[in-house]
Protein backbone atom coordinates (compact mmCIF):
# COMPACT_ATOMS: atom_id res chain seq x y z
CA UNK A 1 0.00 0.00 0.00
CA UNK A 2 1.13 3.55 -0.61
CA UNK A 3 1.11 6.29 2.01
CA UNK A 4 0.54 9.98 1.27
CA UNK A 5 1.41 13.02 3.33
CA UNK A 6 -1.56 14.81 4.87
CA UNK A 7 0.08 18.06 3.77
CA UNK A 8 0.07 16.76 0.16
CA UNK A 9 3.42 18.36 -0.68
CA UNK A 10 5.49 15.16 -0.72
CA UNK A 11 5.06 12.21 -3.11
CA UNK A 12 3.28 9.05 -1.90
CA UNK A 13 5.68 6.33 -0.72
CA UNK A 14 5.71 2.66 0.29
CA UNK A 15 5.16 1.27 3.80
CA UNK A 16 8.87 0.61 4.11
CA UNK A 17 9.81 4.18 3.20
CA UNK A 18 7.11 5.60 5.47
CA UNK A 19 8.51 3.57 8.38
CA UNK A 20 12.06 4.69 7.60
CA UNK A 21 11.12 8.35 7.20
CA UNK A 22 8.63 8.61 10.07
CA UNK A 23 7.25 11.97 9.03
CA UNK A 24 6.93 13.27 5.47
CA UNK A 25 9.50 15.82 4.22
CA UNK A 26 6.72 18.44 4.00
CA UNK A 27 6.04 18.03 7.74
CA UNK A 28 2.81 16.07 7.21
CA UNK A 29 1.80 12.73 8.71
CA UNK A 30 1.66 9.71 6.45
CA UNK A 31 -1.76 8.22 5.81
CA UNK A 32 -2.66 4.96 4.03
CA UNK A 33 -4.12 5.40 0.53
CA UNK A 34 -6.75 2.73 1.22
CA UNK A 35 -7.30 2.81 4.98
CA UNK A 36 -10.18 0.31 4.78
CA UNK A 37 -8.54 -2.19 2.44
CA UNK A 38 -8.78 -4.90 5.14
CA UNK A 39 -12.54 -4.53 4.98
CA UNK A 40 -12.49 -5.20 1.24
CA UNK A 41 -10.03 -8.11 1.45
CA UNK A 42 -11.87 -9.86 4.27
CA UNK A 43 -15.34 -9.60 2.77
CA UNK A 44 -16.84 -6.50 4.37
CA UNK A 45 -18.25 -6.15 7.86
CA UNK A 46 -19.87 -9.59 7.73
CA UNK A 47 -16.68 -11.28 6.60
CA UNK A 48 -14.66 -9.52 9.28
CA UNK A 49 -16.99 -10.29 12.18
CA UNK A 50 -17.25 -13.93 11.08
CA UNK A 51 -13.53 -14.55 10.50
CA UNK A 52 -12.48 -12.76 13.67
CA UNK A 53 -14.07 -15.58 15.67
CA UNK A 54 -13.31 -18.43 13.26
CA UNK A 55 -9.61 -17.88 12.61
CA UNK A 56 -6.75 -18.16 15.07
CA UNK A 57 -6.28 -14.62 16.48
CA UNK A 58 -2.78 -14.15 15.04
CA UNK A 59 -3.84 -15.58 11.69
CA UNK A 60 -6.75 -13.15 11.56
CA UNK A 61 -4.48 -10.29 12.66
CA UNK A 62 -2.03 -11.16 9.88
CA UNK A 63 -4.72 -11.12 7.21
CA UNK A 64 -6.12 -7.88 8.58
CA UNK A 65 -2.74 -6.08 8.68
CA UNK A 66 -1.38 -7.49 5.41
CA UNK A 67 -2.75 -4.78 3.05
CA UNK A 68 -0.94 -2.09 5.07
CA UNK A 69 2.51 -3.71 4.73
CA UNK A 70 2.28 -5.26 1.27
CA UNK A 71 4.55 -5.82 -0.64
CA UNK A 72 7.47 -5.06 1.68
CA UNK A 73 6.58 -7.73 4.22
CA UNK A 74 5.57 -11.24 3.22
CA UNK A 75 2.63 -12.87 5.03
CA UNK A 76 4.91 -15.23 6.98
CA UNK A 77 7.19 -12.35 8.04
CA UNK A 78 4.20 -10.32 9.17
CA UNK A 79 2.84 -13.34 11.03
CA UNK A 80 6.13 -13.67 12.87
CA UNK A 81 6.20 -9.96 13.75
CA UNK A 82 2.65 -10.26 15.10
CA UNK A 83 3.59 -13.34 17.16
CA UNK A 84 6.50 -11.42 18.67
CA UNK A 85 4.43 -8.26 19.20
CA UNK A 86 1.52 -9.99 20.92
CA UNK A 87 3.64 -12.12 23.21
CA UNK A 88 1.63 -11.11 26.31
CA UNK A 89 -2.08 -11.38 27.17
CA UNK A 90 -4.66 -8.67 26.34
CA UNK A 91 -7.52 -9.72 28.63
CA UNK A 92 -10.97 -8.14 28.55
CA UNK A 93 -12.17 -8.07 32.18
CA UNK A 94 -15.77 -7.42 33.21
CA UNK A 95 -15.49 -4.93 36.08
CA UNK A 96 -19.01 -3.55 36.48
CA UNK A 97 -22.36 -4.59 34.98
CA UNK A 98 -21.87 -2.11 32.14
CA UNK A 99 -18.09 -1.79 31.83
CA UNK A 100 -15.43 -4.25 30.67
CA UNK A 101 -11.80 -3.22 30.82
CA UNK A 102 -9.29 -4.13 28.13
CA UNK A 103 -6.04 -4.55 30.06
CA UNK A 104 -3.20 -3.35 27.86
CA UNK A 105 -0.59 -3.30 30.60
CA UNK A 106 0.74 -6.86 30.56
CA UNK A 107 3.70 -6.02 28.28
CA UNK A 108 7.29 -5.32 29.36
CA UNK A 109 6.78 -1.62 30.26
CA UNK A 110 3.20 -1.97 31.57
CA UNK A 111 1.52 0.36 29.07
CA UNK A 112 -0.29 -0.13 25.77
CA UNK A 113 2.56 1.49 23.86
CA UNK A 114 4.49 -1.78 24.07
CA UNK A 115 2.34 -3.12 21.24
CA UNK A 116 3.18 -0.40 18.73
CA UNK A 117 6.81 -0.14 19.82
CA UNK A 118 7.42 -3.88 19.49
CA UNK A 119 5.81 -4.00 16.07
CA UNK A 120 7.75 -0.99 14.83
CA UNK A 121 11.15 -2.09 16.12
CA UNK A 122 10.75 -5.40 14.33
CA UNK A 123 9.77 -3.71 11.07
CA UNK A 124 12.60 -1.24 11.33
CA UNK A 125 15.25 -3.83 12.08
CA UNK A 126 14.19 -5.64 8.88
CA UNK A 127 14.33 -2.44 6.84
CA UNK A 128 17.57 -0.79 8.10
CA UNK A 129 19.77 -3.49 6.61
CA UNK A 130 19.03 -2.22 3.11
CA UNK A 131 20.01 1.40 3.63
CA UNK A 132 23.66 0.98 4.56
CA UNK A 133 24.00 3.36 7.51
CA UNK A 134 22.75 3.78 11.07
CA UNK A 135 19.23 5.03 11.72
CA UNK A 136 18.48 7.50 14.48
CA UNK A 137 15.03 7.06 15.99
CA UNK A 138 13.96 10.41 17.44
CA UNK A 139 11.04 10.35 19.81
CA UNK A 140 9.24 12.66 22.24
CA UNK A 141 7.46 11.12 25.22
CA UNK A 142 4.82 12.34 27.63
CA UNK A 143 5.42 9.31 29.81
CA UNK A 144 5.05 5.84 28.36
CA UNK A 145 6.27 6.01 24.77
CA UNK A 146 9.85 6.44 25.95
CA UNK A 147 9.93 3.26 28.01
CA UNK A 148 8.17 1.18 25.38
CA UNK A 149 10.48 2.41 22.63
CA UNK A 150 13.62 2.04 24.79
CA UNK A 151 12.62 -1.52 25.58
CA UNK A 152 11.46 -2.37 22.06
CA UNK A 153 14.67 -1.07 20.42
CA UNK A 154 17.14 -2.09 23.13
CA UNK A 155 20.29 -3.37 21.42
CA UNK A 156 18.68 -3.36 17.96
CA UNK A 157 21.67 -3.42 15.57
CA UNK A 158 22.04 -0.35 13.36
CA UNK A 159 19.62 1.77 15.40
CA UNK A 160 20.22 4.59 17.90
CA UNK A 161 17.24 5.92 19.83
CA UNK A 162 17.08 9.52 21.11
CA UNK A 163 14.27 10.12 23.59
CA UNK A 164 13.13 13.62 24.61
CA UNK A 165 11.14 13.77 27.82
CA UNK A 166 9.86 16.69 29.90
CA UNK A 167 11.91 17.23 33.05
CA UNK A 168 10.05 16.53 36.29
CA UNK A 169 6.83 15.46 34.54
CA UNK A 170 7.30 11.68 34.55
CA UNK A 171 6.74 9.17 37.31
CA UNK A 172 9.92 7.65 38.69
CA UNK A 173 9.29 4.31 36.99
CA UNK A 174 8.54 5.98 33.68
CA UNK A 175 11.81 7.90 33.92
CA UNK A 176 13.80 4.83 34.90
CA UNK A 177 12.42 2.86 31.97
CA UNK A 178 13.99 5.52 29.75
CA UNK A 179 17.21 6.33 31.52
CA UNK A 180 18.43 2.96 32.77
CA UNK A 181 18.75 1.30 29.41
CA UNK A 182 21.04 -0.15 26.77
CA UNK A 183 23.92 1.79 25.19
CA UNK A 184 22.01 2.56 21.97
CA UNK A 185 19.30 4.45 23.90
CA UNK A 186 20.00 8.17 24.53
CA UNK A 187 17.62 10.00 26.92
CA UNK A 188 17.41 13.82 26.80
CA UNK A 189 15.72 15.55 29.73
CA UNK A 190 14.09 18.70 28.31
CA UNK A 191 13.44 21.69 30.58
CA UNK A 192 9.89 22.16 29.32
CA UNK A 193 6.66 20.22 28.76
CA UNK A 194 5.68 17.47 26.31
CA UNK A 195 4.51 19.92 23.66
CA UNK A 196 8.01 21.46 23.74
CA UNK A 197 9.55 18.01 23.24
CA UNK A 198 7.17 17.27 20.38
CA UNK A 199 7.88 20.68 18.79
CA UNK A 200 11.66 20.09 18.94
CA UNK A 201 11.26 16.68 17.34
CA UNK A 202 9.07 18.09 14.56
CA UNK A 203 11.62 20.85 13.88
CA UNK A 204 14.36 18.25 13.56
CA UNK A 205 12.27 16.36 11.02
CA UNK A 206 11.70 19.44 8.91
CA UNK A 207 15.40 20.44 9.10
CA UNK A 208 16.66 19.33 5.69
CA UNK A 209 20.28 20.30 6.48
CA UNK A 210 20.25 18.02 9.52
CA UNK A 211 18.61 15.23 7.59
CA UNK A 212 21.39 15.31 4.99
CA UNK A 213 23.75 14.25 7.77
CA UNK A 214 21.55 11.91 9.78
CA UNK A 215 19.08 9.23 8.83
CA UNK A 216 16.25 10.23 11.16
CA UNK A 217 13.01 8.43 11.85
CA UNK A 218 10.29 8.74 14.44
CA UNK A 219 8.91 6.18 16.85
CA UNK A 220 6.02 8.34 18.03
CA UNK A 221 2.57 7.41 16.83
CA UNK A 222 3.55 9.74 13.96
CA UNK A 223 5.24 6.63 12.54
CA UNK A 224 2.79 4.38 10.73
CA UNK A 225 4.51 1.27 12.12
CA UNK A 226 3.67 2.46 15.65
CA UNK A 227 0.20 3.69 14.86
CA UNK A 228 -1.32 0.99 12.62
CA UNK A 229 -0.57 -2.08 14.82
CA UNK A 230 -2.54 -0.46 17.63
CA UNK A 231 -5.52 -1.84 15.76
CA UNK A 232 -4.44 -5.32 16.89
CA UNK A 233 -5.77 -5.04 20.42
CA UNK A 234 -9.12 -3.72 19.26
CA UNK A 235 -9.44 -6.88 17.18
CA UNK A 236 -8.57 -8.96 20.21
CA UNK A 237 -11.03 -7.05 22.40
CA UNK A 238 -13.88 -7.48 19.96
CA UNK A 239 -13.18 -11.19 19.64
CA UNK A 240 -13.49 -11.59 23.41
CA UNK A 241 -16.52 -9.30 23.60
CA UNK A 242 -18.33 -11.15 20.86
CA UNK A 243 -18.22 -14.42 22.76
CA UNK A 244 -20.61 -13.06 25.39
CA UNK A 245 -22.37 -10.01 23.96
CA UNK A 246 -24.08 -9.37 20.65
CA UNK A 247 -24.50 -5.59 21.16
CA UNK A 248 -21.93 -3.30 19.53
CA UNK A 249 -19.80 -1.87 22.36
CA UNK A 250 -19.33 1.75 23.29
CA UNK A 251 -15.52 2.13 23.12
CA UNK A 252 -13.79 4.52 25.47
CA UNK A 253 -10.14 5.53 24.95
CA UNK A 254 -8.20 7.68 27.43
CA UNK A 255 -6.62 10.08 24.93
CA UNK A 256 -3.68 12.45 24.72
CA UNK A 257 -1.99 12.48 21.34
CA UNK A 258 -4.97 10.65 19.79
CA UNK A 259 -2.96 7.87 18.12
CA UNK A 260 -4.90 5.24 20.01
CA UNK A 261 -8.23 6.79 19.06
CA UNK A 262 -7.15 7.12 15.43
CA UNK A 263 -6.37 3.37 15.45
CA UNK A 264 -9.75 2.53 16.97
CA UNK A 265 -11.54 4.54 14.31
CA UNK A 266 -9.60 2.69 11.61
CA UNK A 267 -10.82 -0.66 12.94
CA UNK A 268 -14.37 0.65 13.15
CA UNK A 269 -14.29 1.90 9.55
CA UNK A 270 -12.90 -1.52 8.64
CA UNK A 271 -15.97 -3.20 10.14
CA UNK A 272 -15.40 -3.74 13.86
CA UNK A 273 -18.74 -2.82 15.49
CA UNK A 274 -19.07 0.31 17.63
CA UNK A 275 -22.09 2.05 19.09
CA UNK A 276 -19.95 5.10 19.80
CA UNK A 277 -16.28 5.99 20.23
CA UNK A 278 -15.52 8.14 23.27
CA UNK A 279 -12.25 10.05 23.64
CA UNK A 280 -11.70 10.77 27.32
CA UNK A 281 -9.29 13.66 27.87
CA UNK A 282 -8.00 15.25 31.05
CA UNK A 283 -8.01 19.06 31.45
CA UNK A 284 -6.12 19.30 28.16
CA UNK A 285 -9.33 19.69 26.22
CA UNK A 286 -8.48 20.95 22.72
CA UNK A 287 -10.46 18.17 21.00
CA UNK A 288 -13.50 18.20 23.34
CA UNK A 289 -13.81 21.96 22.78
CA UNK A 290 -13.51 21.47 19.02
CA UNK A 291 -16.15 18.73 18.90
CA UNK A 292 -18.43 21.01 20.91
CA UNK A 293 -18.32 23.46 18.01
CA UNK A 294 -15.53 25.78 19.17
CA UNK A 295 -12.40 26.61 17.12
CA UNK A 296 -9.47 24.16 17.11
CA UNK A 297 -7.25 26.13 19.45
CA UNK A 298 -4.45 24.36 21.36
CA UNK A 299 -3.56 26.12 24.63
CA UNK A 300 -0.50 25.57 26.86
CA UNK A 301 -0.54 22.00 28.16
CA UNK A 302 -1.40 21.73 31.86
CA UNK A 303 0.04 19.06 34.16
CA UNK A 304 -2.47 16.52 35.51
CA UNK A 305 -2.47 13.18 37.36
CA UNK A 306 -2.73 11.42 33.98
CA UNK A 307 0.60 12.78 32.74
CA UNK A 308 0.84 10.68 29.58
CA UNK A 309 -2.24 12.54 28.32
CA UNK A 310 -0.94 16.06 29.00
CA UNK A 311 -1.03 17.02 25.34
CA UNK A 312 -2.57 20.25 24.12
CA UNK A 313 -1.80 19.84 20.43
CA UNK A 314 -2.51 16.20 19.56
CA UNK A 315 -0.44 15.07 16.55
CA UNK A 316 -2.87 12.45 15.36
CA UNK A 317 -6.01 14.53 15.17
CA UNK A 318 -5.38 15.38 11.48
CA UNK A 319 -5.43 11.64 10.76
CA UNK A 320 -8.83 11.37 12.40
CA UNK A 321 -10.15 14.26 10.34
CA UNK A 322 -8.78 12.67 7.17
CA UNK A 323 -10.36 9.33 8.00
CA UNK A 324 -13.79 10.88 8.40
CA UNK A 325 -13.26 12.86 5.21
CA UNK A 326 -12.32 9.85 3.05
CA UNK A 327 -15.16 7.75 4.46
CA UNK A 328 -17.57 10.67 4.06
CA UNK A 329 -18.75 10.34 7.63
CA UNK A 330 -19.87 13.10 9.97
CA UNK A 331 -17.31 13.42 12.82
CA UNK A 332 -19.96 13.84 15.49
CA UNK A 333 -21.97 10.81 14.37
CA UNK A 334 -19.38 8.41 15.75
CA UNK A 335 -16.94 10.31 17.93
CA UNK A 336 -17.57 12.10 21.25
CA UNK A 337 -14.92 13.71 23.42
CA UNK A 338 -15.01 14.96 26.97
CA UNK A 339 -12.71 16.55 29.52
CA UNK A 340 -12.35 15.17 33.06
CA UNK A 341 -10.50 16.93 35.89
CA UNK A 342 -8.18 15.52 38.55
CA UNK A 343 -10.82 15.64 41.25
CA UNK A 344 -13.17 13.43 39.21
CA UNK A 345 -10.24 11.15 38.36
CA UNK A 346 -9.38 10.64 42.03
CA UNK A 347 -12.94 9.96 43.09
CA UNK A 348 -13.31 7.38 40.29
CA UNK A 349 -10.17 5.56 41.49
CA UNK A 350 -11.57 5.46 45.03
CA UNK A 351 -15.11 4.53 43.97
CA UNK A 352 -14.11 1.72 41.61
CA UNK A 353 -11.71 0.26 44.15
CA UNK A 354 -14.28 0.31 46.94
CA UNK A 355 -17.19 -0.79 44.80
CA UNK A 356 -15.59 -3.40 42.53
CA UNK A 357 -12.17 -4.12 44.09
CA UNK A 358 -10.44 -2.98 40.89
CA UNK A 359 -7.59 -0.48 40.94
CA UNK A 360 -7.62 1.94 37.99
CA UNK A 361 -4.51 3.79 36.92
CA UNK A 362 -5.03 7.59 36.63
CA UNK A 363 -5.35 7.49 32.81
CA UNK A 364 -7.86 4.67 32.82
CA UNK A 365 -9.76 6.50 35.58
CA UNK A 366 -10.26 9.50 33.27
CA UNK A 367 -11.90 7.10 30.83
CA UNK A 368 -13.99 5.48 33.55
CA UNK A 369 -15.59 8.81 34.47
CA UNK A 370 -16.41 9.73 30.90
CA UNK A 371 -17.71 6.27 29.95
CA UNK A 372 -19.85 5.98 33.10
CA UNK A 373 -21.38 9.38 32.41
CA UNK A 374 -22.26 8.26 28.89
CA UNK A 375 -23.69 4.92 30.01
CA UNK A 376 -25.82 6.59 32.65
CA UNK A 377 -27.60 8.34 29.80
CA UNK A 378 -27.65 5.16 27.68
CA UNK A 379 -28.63 2.49 30.21
CA UNK A 380 -29.08 -0.24 27.59
CA UNK A 381 -25.54 0.05 26.24
CA UNK A 382 -22.37 -1.55 27.49
CA UNK A 383 -18.82 -0.35 27.09
CA UNK A 384 -15.21 -1.35 26.67
CA UNK A 385 -12.70 0.87 28.45
CA UNK A 386 -9.02 0.71 27.58
CA UNK A 387 -6.71 0.34 30.58
CA UNK A 388 -3.73 2.10 29.05
CA UNK A 389 -1.25 1.54 31.90
CA UNK A 390 -0.85 -0.39 35.14
CA UNK A 391 -1.40 1.56 38.41
CA UNK A 392 1.95 0.46 39.83
CA UNK A 393 3.60 2.75 37.28
CA UNK A 394 2.29 5.72 39.26
CA UNK A 395 2.96 4.86 42.93
CA UNK A 396 3.30 8.51 43.97
CA UNK A 397 -0.27 9.32 42.96
CA UNK A 398 -1.64 6.54 45.17
CA UNK A 399 0.73 7.26 48.04
CA UNK A 400 -0.02 10.99 48.11
CA UNK A 401 -3.73 10.85 47.36
CA UNK A 402 -4.81 7.69 49.16
CA UNK A 403 -1.87 6.39 51.21
CA UNK A 404 -1.93 3.18 49.14
CA UNK A 405 0.88 1.26 47.44
CA UNK A 406 -0.28 -0.52 44.28
CA UNK A 407 1.33 -3.92 43.81
CA UNK A 408 3.16 -4.49 40.52
CA UNK A 409 2.10 -7.40 38.32
CA UNK A 410 3.84 -10.54 39.49
CA UNK A 411 6.71 -11.41 37.17
CA UNK A 412 7.11 -7.91 35.77
CA UNK A 413 10.17 -6.28 37.20
CA UNK A 414 10.68 -2.55 37.19
CA UNK A 415 14.01 -2.99 38.93
CA UNK A 416 17.09 -2.24 36.95
CA UNK A 417 20.75 -2.75 37.59
CA UNK A 418 21.89 0.09 35.39
CA UNK A 419 22.50 3.64 36.52
CA UNK A 420 20.57 6.67 35.32
CA UNK A 421 22.05 8.40 32.34
CA UNK A 422 20.43 11.42 30.75
CA UNK A 423 21.45 14.79 29.43
CA UNK A 424 19.56 17.90 30.48
CA UNK A 425 18.69 20.37 27.75
CA UNK A 426 16.77 23.70 27.48
CA UNK A 427 13.55 23.49 25.43
CA UNK A 428 15.11 25.13 22.37
CA UNK A 429 15.55 23.39 19.05
CA UNK A 430 19.11 24.68 18.57
CA UNK A 431 20.27 22.68 21.58
CA UNK A 432 18.84 19.49 20.18
CA UNK A 433 20.27 20.23 16.76
CA UNK A 434 23.83 20.73 17.96
CA UNK A 435 23.64 17.71 20.24
CA UNK A 436 22.51 15.54 17.33
CA UNK A 437 25.18 16.92 15.01
CA UNK A 438 27.95 16.23 17.54
CA UNK A 439 26.82 12.96 19.01
CA UNK A 440 25.00 11.00 16.32
C1 LIG B 1 0.22 7.51 25.68
C2 LIG B 1 -0.79 7.24 26.73
C3 LIG B 1 -2.12 7.67 26.59
C4 LIG B 1 -2.57 8.49 25.42
O5 LIG B 1 -2.58 7.78 24.20
P6 LIG B 1 -2.64 8.58 22.82
O7 LIG B 1 -2.55 7.57 21.75
O8 LIG B 1 -1.46 9.52 22.83
O9 LIG B 1 -3.94 9.33 22.83
C10 LIG B 1 -3.02 7.30 27.56
N11 LIG B 1 -2.65 6.60 28.65
C12 LIG B 1 -1.38 6.18 28.83
C13 LIG B 1 -1.04 5.43 30.06
C14 LIG B 1 -0.40 6.48 27.87
O15 LIG B 1 0.86 6.07 28.05
Residue 112's closest CA among 136, 83, 89, 80? Answer: 89
Instruction: Tell me, using a 6 A CB cutoff, whether residue 202 lines ligand 1.
Output: no
Per-residue pLDDT tens for 44-100?
999 999 999 999 999 999 999 999 999 999 999 999 999 999 999 999 999 999 999
Burial of 159 (0-12, 13-18, 19+ CB in 10 A): buried
The answer to whether residues 12 and 302 touch, using CB atoms and an 8 Å cutoff, is: no
State the pLDDT at residue 156: 86
Does 415 have pLDDT greater than 60?
A: no
Instruction: Tell me, using a 6 A CB cutoff, whether residue 15 lines ligand 1.
Output: no
**What is the Å distance from ligand 1's center to 113 Cα?**
8
Per-residue pLDDT tens for 139-161?
999 888 999 999 999 988 889 99
- Calculate mean pLDDT across residues 331-347: 97
Does 413 have pLDDT greater than 70?
A: no
Per-residue pLDDT tens for 391-401?
998 888 899 88
Better pLDDT: 165 or 411 = 165
Adjacency order of strands within the sheet including 159-166: 216-218, 135-140, 159-166, 185-191, 423-426
**What is the Å distance from ligand 1's center to 102 Cα?**
14
Instruction: Tell me, using a 6 A CB cutoff, whether residue 222 lines ligand 1.
Output: no
Better pLDDT: 62 or 132 = 62
The answer to whether residues 200 and 429 touch, using CB atoms and an 8 Å cutoff, is: yes
Q: How far apart are CA 343 and CA 212, in angstroms?
A: 49
Q: How far apart are CA 109 and CA 81, in angstroms?
A: 19
Per-residue pLDDT tens for 206-253?
899 999 999 999 888 889 999 999 999 999 999 999 988 889 999 999
Eight-state DSSP code of residue 266:
H
CA-closest residue to ligand 1 atom 2: 308
Query: Helix, strand, or coil here: 4?
Result: strand
Does 417 have pLDDT greater than 80?
A: no
**What is the Å distance from ligand 1's center to 30 Cα?**
20
Does 13 have pLDDT greater than 70?
A: yes
Burial of 278 (0-12, 13-18, 19+ CB in 10 A): buried
- Euclidean distance between the first and the last CA atom of the chain, given in angstroms as a whole number: 32
State the pLDDT at residue 410: 60
Residue 61's closest CA among 247, 244, 267, 253? Answer: 267
**What is the Å distance from ligand 1's center to 291 Cα?**
20
Per-residue pLDDT tens for 368-383?
999 999 999 999 999 9
The answer to whether residues 349 and 360 touch, using CB atoms and an 8 Å cutoff, is: yes
State the pLDDT at residue 335: 98
In the predicted model, what is the mean pLDDT of the chain? 93
Q: State which of 165, 363, 394 you would mutate to test the pocket of ligand 1, scoring each by most atoms of that ligand within 8 A of its C-beta.
A: 363
Instruction: Tell me, using a 6 A CB cutoff, whether residue 255 lines ligand 1.
Output: yes
Amino acid sequence: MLYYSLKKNSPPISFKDAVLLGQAPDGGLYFPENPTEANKQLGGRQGITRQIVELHPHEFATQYMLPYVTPELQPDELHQIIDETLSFPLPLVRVSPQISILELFHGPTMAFKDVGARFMSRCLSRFVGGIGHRVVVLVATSGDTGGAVAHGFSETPGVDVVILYPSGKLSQIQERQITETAANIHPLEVLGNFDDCQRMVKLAFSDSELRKNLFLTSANSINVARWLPQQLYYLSAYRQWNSECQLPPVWCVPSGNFGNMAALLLTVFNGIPARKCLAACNQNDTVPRFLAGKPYEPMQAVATLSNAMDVANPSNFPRIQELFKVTKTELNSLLNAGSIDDKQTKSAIKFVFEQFGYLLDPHTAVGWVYLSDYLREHPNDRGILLATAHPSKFPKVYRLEFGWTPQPIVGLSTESVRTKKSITMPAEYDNLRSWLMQRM
